[in-house]
């Protein structure tokens, strides 16, 4: 394991902001991961496991401990039960590269999740979702390293406590868990998931001609290209905020005030579109604060317009949070982890 000092994190995060890591290492094997964690322990320093950096914002002062870049690689396809295919993937693999491989094998399951930045390791942590599909719908198990007990084991889907952009990995019970890999159960000839309007509109003939995973992937990538910034060009972590889930009663009250507001059943509550609130209720599209801004075509997405400080991005996010609360009394949560 190679330990480096004072490594800039801005270039390793999608928002392209934040100071250096006091210590930094990349781990590619179980042995290296174990060594990294015990090194942090030995130095009595906090550690943070970094994937693709697409959902994290480090402070301008940097991270005072050890940043461990997850470099576990490998994609293996195996026969699963009942004619299904099992894909076993290292946490450090690029998510979209993996999705593209499943699609080229004509496997259904992940095509709606095309174009999401980040690594495979982040997919169960965030329970990433887009266009009506979520990682949890296809995950069979997640491989985990328990940093406290120093043990590797597999956590079955049910034990991951998946919820809306949520999982055990974000709760106190999973505080010591480091995701090192995951197994996805995929199928040939599965049914396309076209329940989101943007996507169903691309396939008016879907009842007669079921679109292939490749056709759905192309459509999703095109919708994303139209609506979202190109993260290869602009600093962005995608959606910075989670869509809020409110009680049915609260939703009815909001709907009375804003009749055009849409709600979608989510668990026991109703999920409301925060992008719609930011646009139609608060008129915040394109809001800028210094060099940080809300993306004009999709205000859930915060962008670094070039050289924004971490503090500017955080302040903009806090401003949005306050504005939403003062107008609607809804408390919104960050999807991005601010460290």
Residue 151 touches ligand NAP, criterion: CB under 6 A: no
Q: Which single residue is written with the structure tokens 């507001």? A: 261
Give me the least distance between CB of 260 and ligand NAP, in Å please.
Answer: 13
3-class state of residue 116 by DSSP: coil
Give me the least distance between CB of 305 and ligand NAP, in Å please.
Answer: 17
The string of DSSP letters for 150-166 reads: TEEEEEEGGGG--BTTB
Give the interface size with ligand NAP as a residue count (CB under 6 A). Answer: 21
Residue 238 touches ligand NAP, criterion: CB under 6 A: yes
Single out the residue of 129, 163, 190, 290 in contact with ligand NAP (rule: CB under 6 A): 129
3-class state of residue 81 by DSSP: helix
Single out the residue of 77, 152, 196, 258 in contact with ligand NAP (rule: CB under 6 A): 196
The string of DSSP letters for 260-328 reads: T--EEEETTEEEE-HHHIIIIIT--TT-EETTEEE-TT-TTEEEE-SS--HHHHHHHHHHHHHHHHHHH
HSE-CB of 169 using CA atoms within 13 angstroms: 28
Q: Which stretch binds ligand NAP (CB under 6 A): 138-146, 179-187, 192-200, 253-261?
A: 192-200
Closer Cβ to ligand NAP, 176 or 222, answer by number: 222
Q: Tell me how far apart the alpha carbons of residues 100 and 115 are, in angstroms, rounded to a whole number.
A: 9
Judge whether 35 counts as a catalytic residue. Answer: no
Which residue out of 16, 165, 224, 314 is catalytically annotated?
165
Single out the residue of 105, 175, 227, 296 in contact with ligand NAP (rule: CB under 6 A): 227
Judge whether 335 counts as a catalytic residue. Answer: yes
Q: Which stretch binds ligand NAP (CB under 6 A): 3-11, 25-33, 75-83, 128-136?
A: 128-136
Task: Cite the DSSP H helix spans in 43-113.
Answer: 95-104
Question: Any idea what DSSP says for residue 119?
Answer: B
Question: Any idea what DSSP says for residue 105?
Answer: T
Give me the least distance between CB of 93 and ligand NAP, in Å please.
Answer: 18
37 phi-psi bin (left φ>0, alpha ψ -120 to 50, beta other): alpha
Single out the residue of 127, 180, 298, 328 in contact with ligand NAP (rule: CB under 6 A): 298
Residue 239 touches ligand NAP, criterion: CB under 6 A: yes
Q: Tell me how far apart the alpha carbons of residues 232 and 192 are, in angstroms, rounded to a whole number.
A: 28
Q: Please answer whether residues 240 and 308 qualify as being in contact, where contact means their C-beta atoms are separated by less than 8 angstroms.
A: no
Residue 246 touches ligand NAP, criterion: CB under 6 A: no
Which residue out of 26, 32, 311, 335 is catalytically annotated?
335
Which residue of this chain has its Cβ atom nearest to ligand NAP in the complex? 238
Q: Please answer whether residues 184 and 87 qualify as being in contact, where contact means their C-beta atoms are separated by less than 8 angstroms.
A: yes
Binding track over 257-276 against ligand NAP, x by CB under 6 A: -------x------x-x-x-
Closer Cβ to ligand NAP, 113 or 186, answer by number: 113
Footprint of ligand NAP (CB under 6 A): 116, 129-132, 195-198, 227-228, 238-239, 243, 264, 271, 273, 275, 298, 300-301
Q: Hey, which residues are catalytic here?
A: 165, 239, 335
């Amino acid at each position: 394991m190679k330990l480096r000092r004072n490594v800039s994190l801005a270039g390793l995060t999608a928002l392209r902001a934040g100071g250096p890591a006091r210590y930094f290492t990349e781990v590619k094997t179980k042995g290296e991961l174990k060594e990294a964690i015990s090194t942090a322990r030995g130095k009595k320093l906090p550690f943070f496991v970094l994937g693709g950096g697409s959902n994290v914002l480090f402070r301008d002062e940097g991270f005072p401990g050890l940043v461990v870049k997850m470099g576990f690689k490998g994609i293996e396809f195996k026969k699963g039960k009942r004619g299904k295919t099992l894909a076993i993937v290292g946490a450090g693999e690029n998510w979209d590269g993996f999705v593209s491989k499943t699609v080229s094998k004509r496997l259904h399951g992940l095509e709606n999740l095309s174009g999401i930045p980040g690594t495979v390791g982040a997919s169960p942590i965030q329970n990433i979702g887009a266009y009506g599909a979520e990682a949890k719908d296809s995950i069979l198990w997640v491989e985990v390293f328990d940093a406290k007990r120093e043990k590797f084991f597999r956590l079955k889907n049910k034990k991951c406590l998946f919820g809306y952009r949520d999982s055990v990995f974000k709760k106190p019970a999973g505080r010591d868990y480091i995701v090192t890999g995951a197994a996805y159960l995929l199928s040939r000839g599965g049914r396309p998931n076209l329940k989101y309007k943007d996507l169903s509109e691309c396939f008016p003939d879907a009842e007669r001609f079921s679109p292939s995973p490749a056709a759905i992937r192309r459509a999703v990538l095109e919708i994303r290209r139209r609506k979202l910034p190109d993260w290869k060009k602009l600093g962005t972590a995608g959606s910075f905020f989670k869509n809020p889930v409110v009680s049915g009663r609260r939703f009815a009250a909001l709907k009375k005030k804003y009749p055009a507001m849409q709600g979608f059943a989510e668990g026991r509550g109703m999920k409301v579109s925060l992008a719609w609130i930011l646009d139609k209720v608060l008129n915040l599209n394109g809001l800028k604060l210094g060099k940080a801004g809300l993306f004009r075509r999709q205000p859930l997405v915060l962008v670094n317009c070039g050289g924004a400080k971490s503090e500017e991005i955080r302040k903009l996010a806090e401003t949005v949070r306050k504005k939403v609360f003062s107008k609607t009394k809804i408390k919104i949560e960050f999807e991005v982890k601010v460290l």
